[in-house]
Amino acid sequence: MTPLPKAQKRIGIAADHGGYDLKEYLTRMLREAGYDVVPFGDDRPRPEDDYPDFVVPLARAVAHGEVDRGVAICGSGVGASVVANKVPEVRAGLIHETFSAHQGVEDDDLNMICLGGLVVGPALAWELVKTFLAARFSGAERHRRRLNKVAELEKR
- Convert the pLDDT of each residue in 122-150 to its tens digit: 999 999 999 999 999 999 999 999 999 99
* Residues 156 and 114: beta-carbon distance below 8 Å: no
Q: How much is the pLDDT for 65?
A: 97
Q: How much is the pLDDT for 156?
A: 84
**Ranges of H-type helices in the chain:** 20-32, 52-63, 78-84, 98-108, 122-134, 141-155
Q: How much is the pLDDT for 118?
A: 97
Sign of the C-alpha dihedral computed for residues 103, 6, 121 and 50 taken in this order = negative
Question: Which residues of the chain carry a pLDDT beneath 70?
Answer: 1-8
- What is residue 156's three-state secondary structure? coil
Q: How much is the pLDDT for 7?
A: 58
Q: How much is the pLDDT for 4?
A: 53
Q: How much is the pLDDT for 86?
A: 96
- Provide the residue ranges of all domains of the chain, joining segments of one domain with +: 10-155
Q: How much is the pLDDT for 154?
A: 87
CATH architecture under which domain 10-155 falls: 3-Layer(aba) Sandwich (3.40)
Average pLDDT of the chain to the nearest whole number:
94
Say which of 30, 55, 74, 113 is annotated catalytic: 74
Q: pTM (2 decimals)?
A: 0.93
Active site residue 114: no
